[in-house]
Every structure is written in C-alpha cells, then in structure tokens.
Amino acid sequence: MAEFLAIHQSDASLLGCVLRKLSGTVSLGGPQPAAGVGFFQSDDVLLRKRPLTGVPDAARLAEGVESEAALICSGGVGLSARAFNEGHTLPFRFKRWLFAAAGEPDSLIPARGTLLNGLPSFLRRSVKGDTAAEALFFAFLSKLRDAGRLDDLDVDAQTAARSLAAAVGAAERAFEQLQKPLPGLALVVTNGRVLAALRRGHPLSLGTIDGLIPCARDEIGAGASDLDPRVKSHRMLRAAIVVSGDQPAQEGFRPLSEGEVVAIPRGLSEILSL
C-alpha cells in the first residue's frame, strides 16, 4: 500500500531537523519494494527514486536534501509495484508539479480511459506510463489549465486544491457510470510553493510545527542560549506536514475528515480547509 509524507517549511537547511523530529512518530507504512523523494532547489525539481528493503524511513530517504518543500513516498503503482520500477515509483512529476497517491491507487484502473479522454491533446501526449494514478495526476493538471494557471508559478493554494478536488470528481463520475464506488485514496500535489491535499477514503493527517527547539539532530537543548547562532533559525522555523495512513495521535497533528481538502499557501500564512 502506497503512502506519502509531504512537508512545506520555512528554512531549507532545516529539513533534516524536521524529519528527525518526526522520526518514530509518523510512519510511511510497512515494507515496500521502492521509495521516492521529490524536492525543489532554486528552479530545479529533483527526484530521487530507489529500490527499498524493509520499512521506509523518511529521514534516511531524504538524507542530505535541503529544500523548503519535499514529498517522500513509499511504494509504487502499476503491475510492477511489487518490484522497483523507476517510472512507476511515486512521486510523479510534470514541469514543477509533484504528485503522490496513497492507499490502493491501482484500483483506479476502471477510470483511466475516461480520465485520459478528458485531457487536452498536449497533456495526453505527455502521459508516459500506463497507470491510473498518472492519469489522475494529469486530470489535475488539466483542471489547472482550465483555470488558466497550469504554467503560473504564483498559482494560489486554493486554486490548486480546487483543481485536485475537481480531478477526483472526474474519477468519481467515471466510477458512477460503472455503478461502482470510488476507491479509497489520499492525494497530494505541490509545486514547491503551494501544497494541496485531499482525503477520500484513506487516512490523511495534517500537522504543524512552530519552532524547533529542542532539536535532537543539531543537539540544541530546550534551554539553549540565543547566543548560539543556530538557535534563532530553529526558533523561527515553521512547518506544515501532511502524512497519509494510520498515524498515532500526537500533539500538533489532526486527522482530516472524510472528503476534506486542505490548501497550504506559500509562506504558511494560513492553512485553509475547503
């Protein structure tokens, strides 16, 4: 079962510190054959995908990454999901957008043809694989295009969230035509500036961090002096975390309600629930 952890935070150099704080308190599920990390550096969108043995650990998967936004995934999609296949390992990328699905994304197969037929021709030509999850990703991109924001680096989080919800709505209508219910999913998209996530039948939680004192990774204690140059950046750090799957109850996190869509804007000024 695929799972993901998405982070937007205010200091690229402290991503490892955030992941260390989350280690042992959030889970990317059980053993998987593959894992992937998507992140942003300046104008570049980078992917790191690898075979995996054992239980995925987000801090290890993203070791050495410095970015204000990261999407860490366990598992893949398609017929090769039981073995490593780079093209079927999440997250997926198109231009500056990253996408991941949690739950059983292969169960979307009955809607794939309908979703692809609804795409404009230039987007349909860009679909590289044969998975339904990728078709749903491109349905999201198509909805962004309909809003005139596909190539807009400054697209607002609400537009991204509504486009994601509209793509899921298209998949749901396809299943209704087949007289079947939409399979359980959790979805996330990010362009490194804004993030949108949606719960539809698969657990999804939202967490925030306001200040990272103490920090086990940098060995900064609760009573650290402000004379330490590292303390100010840790004290000012803000982060928003979206994690799929069943998670233990913990301070600063809440489960999203069924059907809830969240929009996280650039700067983390206000997290909106739509």
What is the predicted pLDDT for the residue at 225? 83
Residue 147 carries which side chain, given as an amino acid letter?
A
Torsional sign, CA 113, 166, 262, 238: positive
pLDDT tens column, 155-176? 999 999 999 999 999 999 999 9
What is the predicted pLDDT for the residue at 106? 85
The count of other CB atoms within 10 Å of the CB of residue 154 is 9
What is the predicted pLDDT for the residue at 84? 74
Low-confidence ranges of the chain (pLDDT < 70): 78-83
What is the predicted pLDDT for the residue at 269? 84
What is the predicted pLDDT for the residue at 272? 87
Question: Where in the chain are the domains?
Answer: 3-273
Residue 106 carries which side chain, given as an amino acid letter?
D
What is the predicted pLDDT for the residue at 39? 98
What is the predicted pLDDT for the residue at 82? 63
What is the predicted pLDDT for the residue at 4? 96
- Omega before 265 cis (within 30°)? no
Q: What is the distance between the alpha carbons of residues 170 and 70, in angstroms, rounded to a whole number?
A: 27
Asked if CATH classification 3.60.20.10 holds for the domain at 3-273, the reply, yes or no, is: yes
